[in-house]
Amino acid sequence: VRIDATQSISSSRRTFLRTVTGAAAFPGLRSLAGADRPKKTVVVTFGGGARDDETFMPDGQENIPHLLNELIPQATFFSQVVNRGILGHYVATASIVTGVYETFNNFAPVPPDNPTVFEYFRKDGKRPATDCWVVAPSNGFARIGESNHRAYGPGFGAGVILPKRLLTAALAGGDRERYQHLLRDNYETPLYAPPLTGTQLELNRMAEVLKLSVDDFAAHARSLASPDEMSVFVARQLMRQLAPSLLWVTLHDIDVAHSGTFSLYIEGIQRCDRLCAELWQAIQKDPEYANKTTMFILPDFGRDSDIDSGGNGFQHHRTGDQLSRTTWMMVLGPGVRQNVVVDRPVESIDLIPTLGSLLGFDARLSRGKPIAEVA
Protein backbone atom coordinates (compact mmCIF):
# COMPACT_ATOMS: atom_id res chain seq x y z
CA VAL A 1 0.00 0.00 0.00
CA ARG A 2 2.80 2.36 0.88
CA ILE A 3 4.54 1.90 -2.43
CA ASP A 4 1.31 2.36 -4.36
CA ALA A 5 0.46 5.57 -2.55
CA THR A 6 3.93 7.00 -2.97
CA GLN A 7 4.09 6.09 -6.64
CA SER A 8 0.69 7.62 -7.17
CA ILE A 9 1.94 10.94 -5.78
CA SER A 10 5.01 10.73 -7.97
CA SER A 11 2.98 9.82 -11.03
CA SER A 12 0.67 12.82 -10.54
CA ARG A 13 3.61 15.19 -10.36
CA ARG A 14 5.21 13.68 -13.44
CA THR A 15 2.02 13.84 -15.46
CA PHE A 16 1.42 17.41 -14.50
CA LEU A 17 4.95 18.51 -15.31
CA ARG A 18 4.85 16.83 -18.68
CA THR A 19 1.65 18.68 -19.44
CA VAL A 20 2.79 22.07 -18.25
CA THR A 21 6.49 22.18 -19.02
CA GLY A 22 6.88 19.35 -21.50
CA ALA A 23 9.32 17.68 -19.13
CA ALA A 24 10.59 14.32 -20.38
CA ALA A 25 11.54 11.18 -18.53
CA PHE A 26 15.18 11.02 -17.54
CA PRO A 27 16.95 9.50 -20.55
CA GLY A 28 19.58 7.45 -18.78
CA LEU A 29 22.47 7.77 -16.44
CA ARG A 30 25.55 9.72 -17.26
CA SER A 31 28.21 11.06 -14.97
CA LEU A 32 29.09 14.70 -14.98
CA ALA A 33 32.29 15.41 -16.84
CA GLY A 34 35.05 17.04 -14.88
CA ALA A 35 34.44 20.41 -16.48
CA ASP A 36 30.80 20.23 -15.43
CA ARG A 37 31.51 19.63 -11.80
CA PRO A 38 30.16 22.57 -9.83
CA LYS A 39 32.50 24.82 -7.98
CA LYS A 40 29.76 26.16 -5.80
CA THR A 41 26.56 24.73 -4.36
CA VAL A 42 23.45 26.42 -3.01
CA VAL A 43 20.80 24.35 -1.21
CA VAL A 44 17.36 25.75 -0.46
CA THR A 45 15.02 23.80 1.82
CA PHE A 46 11.43 24.73 2.60
CA GLY A 47 10.58 24.24 6.24
CA GLY A 48 6.92 23.45 6.16
CA GLY A 49 6.40 21.49 3.05
CA ALA A 50 3.89 22.53 0.44
CA ARG A 51 1.46 19.87 -0.68
CA ASP A 52 0.86 18.93 -4.30
CA ASP A 53 -2.70 20.22 -4.00
CA GLU A 54 -1.34 23.73 -3.59
CA THR A 55 1.57 23.38 -6.03
CA PHE A 56 1.70 20.72 -8.72
CA MET A 57 -2.02 19.96 -9.01
CA PRO A 58 -4.13 22.07 -11.42
CA ASP A 59 -5.55 24.30 -8.68
CA GLY A 60 -2.12 24.86 -7.22
CA GLN A 61 -0.13 25.90 -10.27
CA GLU A 62 -1.15 29.54 -9.88
CA ASN A 63 0.91 29.53 -6.67
CA ILE A 64 4.22 28.46 -8.24
CA PRO A 65 4.59 30.29 -11.57
CA HIS A 66 8.33 30.81 -11.11
CA LEU A 67 9.09 27.19 -10.28
CA LEU A 68 6.98 25.96 -13.18
CA ASN A 69 7.89 28.43 -15.88
CA GLU A 70 11.43 29.47 -15.03
CA LEU A 71 13.16 26.84 -12.92
CA ILE A 72 11.72 23.42 -13.80
CA PRO A 73 12.46 23.86 -17.53
CA GLN A 74 16.11 24.19 -16.52
CA ALA A 75 16.06 21.42 -13.92
CA THR A 76 16.19 17.72 -13.31
CA PHE A 77 13.10 17.14 -11.19
CA PHE A 78 12.84 14.26 -8.72
CA SER A 79 9.17 13.52 -8.23
CA GLN A 80 9.46 11.06 -5.36
CA VAL A 81 11.67 12.16 -2.49
CA VAL A 82 10.75 10.24 0.64
CA ASN A 83 11.53 11.29 4.19
CA ARG A 84 11.37 8.29 6.53
CA GLY A 85 12.42 10.22 9.61
CA ILE A 86 10.78 12.42 12.21
CA LEU A 87 8.57 15.05 10.61
CA GLY A 88 9.61 18.07 12.66
CA HIS A 89 11.37 20.90 10.88
CA TYR A 90 14.60 21.20 12.83
CA VAL A 91 15.23 17.48 13.20
CA ALA A 92 14.20 16.85 9.56
CA THR A 93 16.52 19.57 8.25
CA ALA A 94 19.28 18.20 10.45
CA SER A 95 18.64 14.77 8.92
CA ILE A 96 19.03 16.20 5.43
CA VAL A 97 22.20 18.02 6.51
CA THR A 98 23.78 14.88 8.00
CA GLY A 99 22.38 12.23 5.66
CA VAL A 100 21.19 10.27 8.69
CA TYR A 101 17.69 10.25 10.17
CA GLU A 102 18.40 12.13 13.37
CA THR A 103 16.28 11.20 16.38
CA PHE A 104 16.70 14.06 18.85
CA ASN A 105 13.83 16.12 20.24
CA ASN A 106 12.75 18.51 17.51
CA PHE A 107 12.37 21.35 19.99
CA ALA A 108 15.63 20.87 21.86
CA PRO A 109 18.49 23.30 21.17
CA VAL A 110 20.97 20.52 20.43
CA PRO A 111 23.42 19.89 17.59
CA PRO A 112 22.94 16.92 15.25
CA ASP A 113 24.46 13.65 16.46
CA ASN A 114 26.11 12.91 13.12
CA PRO A 115 28.60 14.99 11.11
CA THR A 116 27.03 17.62 8.90
CA VAL A 117 27.74 18.25 5.25
CA PHE A 118 29.64 21.34 6.31
CA GLU A 119 32.06 19.32 8.44
CA TYR A 120 32.70 16.77 5.69
CA PHE A 121 33.18 19.55 3.18
CA ARG A 122 35.55 21.59 5.30
CA LYS A 123 37.60 18.77 6.78
CA ASP A 124 38.08 16.73 3.62
CA GLY A 125 38.64 19.79 1.45
CA LYS A 126 40.60 21.78 4.04
CA ARG A 127 38.21 24.63 3.51
CA PRO A 128 38.21 27.79 5.63
CA ALA A 129 35.35 28.66 7.94
CA THR A 130 34.20 31.41 5.61
CA ASP A 131 33.51 28.95 2.80
CA CYS A 132 30.21 27.53 4.05
CA TRP A 133 27.24 29.19 5.68
CA VAL A 134 23.71 28.45 6.79
CA VAL A 135 20.97 31.05 6.81
CA ALA A 136 18.12 29.80 8.98
CA PRO A 137 14.78 31.21 10.04
CA SER A 138 14.73 30.97 13.81
CA ASN A 139 16.71 30.29 16.92
CA GLY A 140 15.61 26.68 16.80
CA PHE A 141 18.14 26.17 13.99
CA ALA A 142 21.06 27.77 15.82
CA ARG A 143 22.97 24.48 16.23
CA ILE A 144 22.50 23.07 12.75
CA GLY A 145 25.90 24.09 11.40
CA GLU A 146 28.01 21.71 13.44
CA SER A 147 27.52 18.28 15.04
CA ASN A 148 28.89 17.03 18.32
CA HIS A 149 30.54 14.07 16.62
CA ARG A 150 33.98 13.34 18.05
CA ALA A 151 35.72 12.95 14.70
CA TYR A 152 34.34 16.25 13.41
CA GLY A 153 32.37 18.79 15.40
CA PRO A 154 33.77 22.03 16.80
CA GLY A 155 35.93 23.91 14.37
CA PHE A 156 34.70 22.20 11.21
CA GLY A 157 31.13 23.46 10.93
CA ALA A 158 29.38 26.21 9.04
CA GLY A 159 28.62 29.66 10.27
CA VAL A 160 24.92 29.95 11.05
CA ILE A 161 23.17 33.27 10.55
CA LEU A 162 19.75 33.73 12.11
CA PRO A 163 18.46 36.92 10.51
CA LYS A 164 15.62 37.38 12.99
CA ARG A 165 18.05 37.30 15.86
CA LEU A 166 20.24 39.83 14.13
CA LEU A 167 17.29 42.08 13.58
CA THR A 168 16.27 41.77 17.20
CA ALA A 169 19.75 42.83 18.25
CA ALA A 170 19.71 45.69 15.77
CA LEU A 171 16.44 46.88 17.29
CA ALA A 172 17.66 46.63 20.86
CA GLY A 173 17.01 50.30 21.31
CA GLY A 174 13.31 49.92 20.52
CA ASP A 175 11.46 50.38 17.26
CA ARG A 176 10.35 46.76 17.14
CA GLU A 177 6.84 47.84 16.25
CA ARG A 178 7.74 48.65 12.65
CA TYR A 179 9.46 45.29 12.18
CA GLN A 180 6.85 43.01 13.70
CA HIS A 181 6.17 41.33 10.35
CA LEU A 182 9.80 40.19 10.15
CA LEU A 183 9.82 38.73 13.65
CA ARG A 184 6.95 36.34 13.07
CA ASP A 185 7.20 33.06 14.81
CA ASN A 186 7.12 29.40 14.09
CA TYR A 187 3.68 27.85 14.63
CA GLU A 188 4.71 24.23 14.87
CA THR A 189 3.14 23.91 18.30
CA PRO A 190 0.35 26.18 19.44
CA LEU A 191 3.10 28.39 20.74
CA TYR A 192 6.53 27.30 19.76
CA ALA A 193 8.54 30.44 19.59
CA PRO A 194 12.15 30.33 20.75
CA PRO A 195 13.10 33.58 22.41
CA LEU A 196 14.81 36.06 20.13
CA THR A 197 17.76 37.21 22.16
CA GLY A 198 20.31 38.55 19.77
CA THR A 199 23.36 40.16 21.28
CA GLN A 200 25.17 43.28 20.23
CA LEU A 201 28.44 41.37 20.04
CA GLU A 202 26.96 38.89 17.60
CA LEU A 203 25.46 41.70 15.58
CA ASN A 204 28.74 43.53 15.31
CA ARG A 205 30.50 40.38 14.16
CA MET A 206 27.84 39.75 11.55
CA ALA A 207 27.96 43.35 10.43
CA GLU A 208 31.64 42.82 9.82
CA VAL A 209 31.09 39.56 7.92
CA LEU A 210 28.27 40.92 5.82
CA LYS A 211 29.96 44.28 5.29
CA LEU A 212 26.71 45.86 6.28
CA SER A 213 26.26 48.41 9.01
CA VAL A 214 23.66 47.84 11.67
CA ASP A 215 21.75 50.88 10.47
CA ASP A 216 21.83 49.75 6.85
CA PHE A 217 20.68 46.27 7.82
CA ALA A 218 17.75 47.65 9.81
CA ALA A 219 16.90 50.14 7.09
CA HIS A 220 16.88 47.47 4.39
CA ALA A 221 14.92 45.07 6.55
CA ARG A 222 12.15 47.64 6.77
CA SER A 223 11.46 47.19 3.05
CA LEU A 224 11.08 43.41 3.30
CA ALA A 225 7.78 41.61 3.63
CA SER A 226 8.63 38.49 5.61
CA PRO A 227 11.30 36.50 7.47
CA ASP A 228 12.04 34.49 4.32
CA GLU A 229 12.70 37.67 2.36
CA MET A 230 15.14 38.68 5.07
CA SER A 231 16.86 35.28 4.85
CA VAL A 232 17.31 35.61 1.09
CA PHE A 233 18.59 39.16 1.51
CA VAL A 234 21.22 37.91 3.97
CA ALA A 235 22.10 34.99 1.67
CA ARG A 236 22.67 37.36 -1.24
CA GLN A 237 24.78 39.62 0.94
CA LEU A 238 26.90 36.59 1.90
CA MET A 239 27.31 35.70 -1.77
CA ARG A 240 28.48 39.21 -2.60
CA GLN A 241 30.90 39.56 0.31
CA LEU A 242 32.28 36.07 0.89
CA ALA A 243 31.17 34.01 -2.11
CA PRO A 244 30.98 30.80 -0.05
CA SER A 245 31.30 27.52 -1.93
CA LEU A 246 28.50 25.92 0.06
CA LEU A 247 25.49 27.99 1.03
CA TRP A 248 22.43 26.49 2.72
CA VAL A 249 19.24 28.55 3.02
CA THR A 250 16.17 27.30 4.86
CA LEU A 251 12.90 29.10 4.19
CA HIS A 252 10.09 28.89 6.67
CA ASP A 253 7.21 31.25 5.85
CA ILE A 254 5.06 28.35 4.65
CA ASP A 255 4.90 26.92 8.13
CA VAL A 256 2.35 29.56 9.10
CA ALA A 257 0.02 26.75 7.99
CA HIS A 258 0.14 25.47 11.57
CA SER A 259 -2.10 28.36 12.53
CA GLY A 260 -4.83 26.89 10.33
CA THR A 261 -5.03 29.91 8.01
CA PHE A 262 -5.10 28.60 4.46
CA SER A 263 -4.67 32.03 2.84
CA LEU A 264 -1.45 32.71 4.76
CA TYR A 265 -0.11 29.26 3.87
CA ILE A 266 -0.78 30.01 0.19
CA GLU A 267 0.97 33.37 0.49
CA GLY A 268 3.96 31.57 2.00
CA ILE A 269 4.12 29.19 -0.98
CA GLN A 270 3.89 32.07 -3.43
CA ARG A 271 6.68 33.91 -1.62
CA CYS A 272 8.94 30.83 -1.60
CA ASP A 273 8.30 30.38 -5.30
CA ARG A 274 9.36 33.96 -6.02
CA LEU A 275 12.37 33.88 -3.69
CA CYS A 276 13.75 30.70 -5.24
CA ALA A 277 13.63 32.34 -8.67
CA GLU A 278 15.25 35.51 -7.33
CA LEU A 279 18.04 33.50 -5.77
CA TRP A 280 18.67 31.61 -9.01
CA GLN A 281 18.68 34.89 -10.95
CA ALA A 282 21.15 36.35 -8.46
CA ILE A 283 23.38 33.33 -8.97
CA GLN A 284 23.33 33.83 -12.74
CA LYS A 285 24.23 37.51 -12.42
CA ASP A 286 27.10 37.07 -9.99
CA PRO A 287 30.45 36.33 -11.72
CA GLU A 288 31.56 34.29 -8.73
CA TYR A 289 28.59 31.96 -9.17
CA ALA A 290 27.33 32.18 -12.75
CA ASN A 291 27.69 28.93 -14.73
CA LYS A 292 29.56 27.18 -11.94
CA THR A 293 26.86 26.71 -9.34
CA THR A 294 24.46 23.86 -8.72
CA MET A 295 21.28 24.70 -6.84
CA PHE A 296 19.14 22.12 -5.04
CA ILE A 297 15.60 23.02 -3.95
CA LEU A 298 13.58 20.66 -1.77
CA PRO A 299 10.93 20.82 0.95
CA ASP A 300 12.02 19.06 4.14
CA PHE A 301 8.83 16.95 3.91
CA GLY A 302 5.17 17.32 2.97
CA ARG A 303 2.01 18.03 4.92
CA ASP A 304 -1.00 15.87 5.88
CA SER A 305 -3.59 14.98 3.26
CA ASP A 306 -7.16 16.24 3.40
CA ILE A 307 -8.43 12.71 3.73
CA ASP A 308 -6.46 11.23 6.63
CA SER A 309 -8.75 11.37 9.66
CA GLY A 310 -5.79 11.60 12.01
CA GLY A 311 -4.81 15.02 10.68
CA ASN A 312 -6.46 18.29 9.77
CA GLY A 313 -5.42 18.66 6.16
CA PHE A 314 -2.79 21.21 5.24
CA GLN A 315 -2.49 22.49 8.82
CA HIS A 316 -0.01 19.95 10.20
CA HIS A 317 2.36 17.11 9.37
CA ARG A 318 1.54 14.79 12.20
CA THR A 319 -0.02 11.71 10.68
CA GLY A 320 3.07 10.33 8.99
CA ASP A 321 0.90 9.50 5.97
CA GLN A 322 2.48 9.20 2.54
CA LEU A 323 1.57 12.72 1.51
CA SER A 324 3.41 14.12 4.51
CA ARG A 325 6.43 11.88 3.87
CA THR A 326 6.74 12.25 0.11
CA THR A 327 8.03 15.40 -1.48
CA TRP A 328 10.14 16.48 -4.46
CA MET A 329 13.50 18.01 -5.34
CA MET A 330 14.79 20.01 -8.28
CA VAL A 331 18.40 20.41 -9.29
CA LEU A 332 19.74 23.13 -11.59
CA GLY A 333 23.18 23.96 -12.82
CA PRO A 334 25.96 23.21 -15.28
CA GLY A 335 25.89 19.63 -16.52
CA VAL A 336 22.49 18.92 -15.01
CA ARG A 337 19.99 17.68 -17.56
CA GLN A 338 17.21 20.19 -18.16
CA ASN A 339 13.46 19.68 -18.11
CA VAL A 340 13.54 16.01 -17.20
CA VAL A 341 11.71 14.08 -14.50
CA VAL A 342 13.15 11.25 -12.42
CA ASP A 343 10.39 8.96 -11.16
CA ARG A 344 12.31 6.49 -9.10
CA PRO A 345 12.18 7.00 -5.35
CA VAL A 346 15.08 8.67 -3.61
CA GLU A 347 15.34 9.67 0.04
CA SER A 348 15.99 13.06 1.51
CA ILE A 349 19.09 11.63 3.22
CA ASP A 350 20.54 10.91 -0.23
CA LEU A 351 21.32 14.58 -0.76
CA ILE A 352 24.51 14.72 1.31
CA PRO A 353 26.30 11.76 -0.33
CA THR A 354 25.25 13.31 -3.65
CA LEU A 355 26.90 16.56 -2.68
CA GLY A 356 29.91 14.52 -1.60
CA SER A 357 30.23 13.09 -5.11
CA LEU A 358 29.87 16.53 -6.66
CA LEU A 359 32.14 18.44 -4.32
CA GLY A 360 34.72 15.78 -3.60
CA PHE A 361 34.18 14.78 0.02
CA ASP A 362 33.29 11.48 1.62
CA ALA A 363 30.08 11.56 3.64
CA ARG A 364 31.26 8.41 5.30
CA LEU A 365 28.72 8.26 8.11
CA SER A 366 25.71 9.12 6.00
CA ARG A 367 23.12 6.40 5.48
CA GLY A 368 22.02 7.77 2.10
CA LYS A 369 23.25 6.93 -1.39
CA PRO A 370 24.52 9.27 -4.09
CA ILE A 371 21.79 10.12 -6.59
CA ALA A 372 23.30 8.89 -9.85
CA GLU A 373 21.28 11.21 -12.11
CA VAL A 374 23.09 14.28 -10.78
CA ALA A 375 26.12 12.92 -8.90
Among 5, 20, 264, 372, binds another protein (CB under 8 A): 264
x/- contact string, 38-77, with another protein (CB under 8 A)? Answer: ---------------------x------------------
User: By CB under 8 A, is residue 199 in contact with another protein?
Assistant: no
Beta pairing class for 40-46 and 246-251:
parallel
Q: What is the CA radius of gyration of the chain?
A: 19
Among 11, 306, 338, 344, binds another protein (CB under 8 A): 306
User: By CB under 8 A, is residue 103 in contact with another protein?
Assistant: yes
User: By CB under 8 A, is residue 312 in contact with another protein?
Assistant: yes
Cite the beta strand spans of 317-361 per DSSP E: 326-332, 340-342, 346-347
Beta pairing class for 159-161 and 132-135:
parallel
x/- contact string, 120-159, with another protein (CB under 8 A)? Answer: ----------------------------------------
User: By CB under 8 A, is residue 316 in contact with another protein?
Assistant: yes
Closest CA to 121 of 158, 154, 173, 172: 158
Single-letter amino acid code for the residue at 58 = P
Among 7, 20, 104, 130, binds another protein (CB under 8 A): 104
User: By CB under 8 A, is residue 259 in contact with another protein?
Assistant: yes
**From the CB of residue 95, how many other CB atoms can be counted at a distance below 10 Å?**
29
Among 5, 110, 142, 193, binds another protein (CB under 8 A): 193
Among 3, 29, 33, 307, binds another protein (CB under 8 A): 307
Among 9, 224, 249, 256, binds another protein (CB under 8 A): 256
Cβ atoms of 127 and 245 within 8 Å: the answer is: yes
Q: Is the Cβ of residue 137 or residue 157 nearer to another protein in the bound state? A: 137
Q: Computed from CA positions of residues 307, 312, 318, 324, in that sequence, does the dihedral angle turn out positive or negative?
A: positive
Burial 117-145 (b: 16+ CB within 10 A, else e): bbbbbbbbeebeeebbbbbbbbbbbbbbb
Cβ atoms of 68 and 273 within 8 Å: the answer is: no
Among 82, 266, 272, 346, binds another protein (CB under 8 A): 266
Distance, CA of 318 to CA of 46 (rounded, Å): 17
Distance, CA of 11 to CA of 100 (rounded, Å): 27
- How many residues bind another protein (CB under 8 A)? The answer is 44
User: By CB under 8 A, is residue 313 in contact with another protein?
Assistant: yes
Residues that bind another protein (CB under 8 A): 59, 84-87, 101, 103-105, 107, 180-181, 183-185, 187, 189-195, 197, 256, 258-264, 266, 306-307, 309-310, 312-316, 319-320
